[in-house]
Structure formats: C-alpha cells, structure tokens
Amino acid sequence: MDVLCVDGDPDSLERTVASVRRELPDAMPRSARTAEAALDLLATDSIDCVVSTLELPDGSGIDLLESVRSSHGPLPFVLAPRAGAGSESLAAAAVEAGVSAYVPSGSEDGDGGRYVRIAACVRDAVEEGIDSTASEHARQLGALHEASVGLIAATSHERVAEVAVAAASDIHGLEASTVYLYDADANVIEPIASTPAALNLSGGPPTYRPGESIVWRVFERGEPEAVEDVPSDPDAYNPDTPIRSQLTLPLDEYGVLVSGSHDPGTFDERDVTLGRILAGNVVAALEQVDRARTLEERNERLDEFVRVVSHDLRNPLAVATGRLELARAELADVGIESEHVSSVEYALDRIEALIDDLLRLARENDADVELEPLRLSALVDHCRGAVDTENATLRTETDRTFRGDRGRVRQCFENLVRNSVEH
C-alpha cells in the first residue's frame, strides 16, 4: 500500500510518515511538502491513499482534495489539520469536497494519539476504497452483461446504437455518449444515437468529415483513445467544448462509440478495457443485423424463385404437355406413330421432374439438418427398391459409414442412380 503524506511542516510530516510506517507494516509511505509536489507524484506514481494537513505552502488541503477528486476520482483521501487549525465548518467543507476521512485537530489523548488515528483512518479508507472499487467493478460487469443481452436482441443498426449509448453511460457512470456510423457514400461519420445529455451539448453531436476530429482519427487508426484534455488536443473539433475528457472506441468499419466527461482525466485503463469489450459486442451485434438482413434478402429472392418456378414455368409446361397430347392424337388418327413425340414427352417429363426437385430443395432450405451415422451399402440397397434400375447392375463394394442427413442423402443417391440408369 503506497501512502502519500503531504505536510508543509517538516516535523509534522516526519511524524505522520513514521506513524504510518509503524501502524501499517504493509504501507510504503511517500512524502511531499506542497500540493504541487503531491500532484506531480500522483501523476507519475501509483498511490493508494493521500494524507494531507490543511496548511500547505501553496494552498490548502481542501484545494488539494478537490484537485485529486478532479484528476483521480475516488482515490482515498484523509484530511488531518494540525492542532488548532480544524473546525466544524472545515470538516463540513471537507465532506462536501469528497474527503474519505477527517481527523479532528483536537485530541483527548495528546498529539501522539492524533497520528495513531491518522494511520487508522488511512487503513479504513483504503479498505473501504477496495470494497467500493470491487462493488463498482461488479456493477460495471453487470451493466456490460445486460448490454450484451440487449445488443443480441437488436434488429437494426439504430437499435444497436441506442443500446450501446445507454450501456456506455451506465458502465462509465457518465451521461454523454454517442454512436457514430460511417456513411460510405457521403464519406462522413454521422451520429445515429445519443444520450439526452449528449444531445444538449452545443447543439448536439456533429457530423464529422475526414481529418477534422478526434473521432475521425480513432476511426482511421482503429485503436481506442482516452483523451485527458479534449480542448488541448490538436484534432479537437471544437476547442470550446464543455467536454474535457473523452473515450473514443472504434467499431471496425462501422464507426465509433464516444463517451465524454466534463472533468479532465476521467478515463483510466480499466475504462478503456471495459470500452473495448463493449465495442466488440456492439460490432458483433451490427454484424448480426447485417447477416440477418442478408438472409432476409436471400429468402426473398428464394421466394421469388419458387414463385417463378411453380407458376411461370409450370404453366408453359402444362401447355406444352397438352399440345403434345393433341399432336399424338392427331397423328394416331392418321395412323402415324412418331418417335419424336416420345422424345418430346420424355423431355417434358424430365423438365417437370427437375422443377419438382428444385421446389423441394427450395422448401427444405430452412429445415434443420440432423446428422447421423449412415452406411453407404444400406443407402444403395434402398435405391434398388426405390428406383427402377431396369437391366442396370447396381453393386456396392464398401462397408464405409459417414455422417449425414438421412433424407437429403437418400434423395441425392436416388437422383444419382436414376440419372445413371436413364442417361
């Protein structure tokens, strides 16, 4: 456990460090004498808790607390004013600023007891922070799971985007999120779904063109970015935006998912990791919508094919068959038998058989395929009884088995044997 002790008084700082080291054997105390030095350490090192007095050379402990909350969120922070510096109003201000623990400056057991209490507050604040972090992680994972269920059920790009922005806001605890999808015809990235808070920002989410925004940069590079200070980014679309930090997640060729915060440095590595998972689920949902749309279009074409085969081909075939019978009757009346009539009749029968086969295949397209072990010799024996083999010899020279759908394989062999005999 790394504990940062901040105090402008060298003696008081030394006693705080010694108390933390003595009372918390697993702690690694660090020290800083100014708020600026403390913030520099926080920016570069991993700190588990901050302990600060009220009086600092470059500000107050309250100011430092507010800066920590702005840049490091719920990092445990213990405020411990030196003797004579505390008050009820100060305690109230500390609580309002989000202090984890407040150690009053007055003490019935002397100054030594104050340092013991500081160490105890550090331990409690860190443990509470761990519990709070675990609870928050569980909440985020629950939100991610719930989003996955909603994404699976979505049937359009618009619905996928709506579920995604709601999930992003829930997972990251933010109100402003937008999904942008790429329009290849116009070569722009346009907003498809936004949370109400995002719609209220400076007239709502804009449409982005190539090279003019962080959003486009992430879309082109295909890697998520957590921007700590949006206005200072060279690709910021609007430097005057109230959004200070932004997490932008690429959605492959589809577009991007953006979440924004009014505070700088809001997003950490865990936010990026959770964002990657959410973005992956969103991409999978968009692909599923596309596959469903493609399948629907294919089925529509298949239905049209069935209609053409069953109506537009059968009707002329029926006419041709009827005309053939009339021709046969007329020839019979004059005592003529023509092999051409028999050939035409055979050809028409083959056409009708082909139509029947095509319709059967089309109607079976959506049927479930049930695979089972099949013996080749048994299938051939079935064909011997189902197909008129005339004088042909049908011989099986293997006992091999394979897996297949019995009905479809049987039909395939029947057609194969029939065609072999007839042609």
Split at pLDDT 50, 70, 90, the class of 107 is low
Read off the amino acid at residue 388: D
Distance separating alpha carbons of residues 397 and 376, to the nearest angstrom: 10
Radius of gyration of the chain (CA): 38
DSSP H helical segments within 154-261, as ranges? 157-172, 196-199, 214-221
Q: How is 400-417 classified by DSSP, letter by letter?
A: -EEEEEHHHHHHHHHHHH
Q: Are 218 and 272 in contact (CB under 8 A)?
A: no
Dump the DSSP string for 302-360: HHHHHHIIIIIIHHHHHHHHHHHHHHHHHHHHTT---HHHHHHHHHHHHHHHHHHHHHH
Please give the DSSP secondary-structure letter assigned to residue 208.
Answer: B
Q: In whole angstroms, what is the distance from residue 249 CA to residue 161 CA?
A: 13
pLDDT single digits (tens) 54-106: 889 998 999 999 999 887 878 899 998 887 665 677 888 888 888 888 888 75
For residues 96 and 69, the answer to whether their CB atoms sit within 8 Å is no
CB contact at 8 A, 297 and 164: no
Q: Examine the pLDDT at 108 and tell me if it is beyond 50.
A: no
Highest mean pLDDT among 38-42, 313-317, 385-389: 38-42
Question: Where are the chain's structural domains?
Answer: 2-132, 154-291, 368-423
Beta pairing class for 55-56 and 28-32: unpaired
pLDDT at 389 over 70: no
Task: Check: CB of residue 120 under 8 Å from CB of residue 80.
Answer: no
pLDDT per position as a tens digit, 33-54 = 999 999 999 988 888 899 999 8
pLDDT tens per residue across span 204-223:
899 999 988 999 999 999 99
Residues 6 or more apart in contact with residue 268 via CB below 8 angstroms: 226
User: 410 is written with which tokens?
Assistant: 């049987």
Per-residue pLDDT at 390 exceeds 70: no
Per-position DSSP letters for 255-292, written without gaps between them: EEEEEEESSTT---HHHHHHHHHHHHHHHHHHHHHHHH
Question: Which residues, listed in sequence order, are joined to residue 88 by a DSSP beta bridge?
Answer: none
More confident residue, 362 or 274: 274
pLDDT of residue 353: 79
* Triad 245, 249, 252: Cα angle to 5°: 160
Cβ neighbors of 61 (< 8 A, separation 6 or more) are 6, 52, 53, 54, 55, 79, 81, 94
CA 204, chain centre distance (Å): 24
**Which of 3.30.2320.50, 3.40.718.10, 3.10.290.10, 3.40.50.2300 would CATH assign to domain 2-132?**
3.40.50.2300
Q: What is the reported pLDDT for 109?
A: 47
pLDDT of residue 156: 94
Query: Please, are residues 102 and 118 in contact by the beta-carbon 8 Å criterion?
Result: no
For residue 253, pLDDT over 90 is answered with: yes
pLDDT at 270 exceeding the cut of 90: no
**Do 281 and 266 contact (CB within 8 A), yes or no?**
no
Angle between helices 10-23 and 110-153 (to 10 degrees): 70
Q: Which superfamily, per CATH, for 154-291?
A: GAF domain (3.30.450.40)
According to DSSP, the residues that pair with 279 across neighbouring strands are none
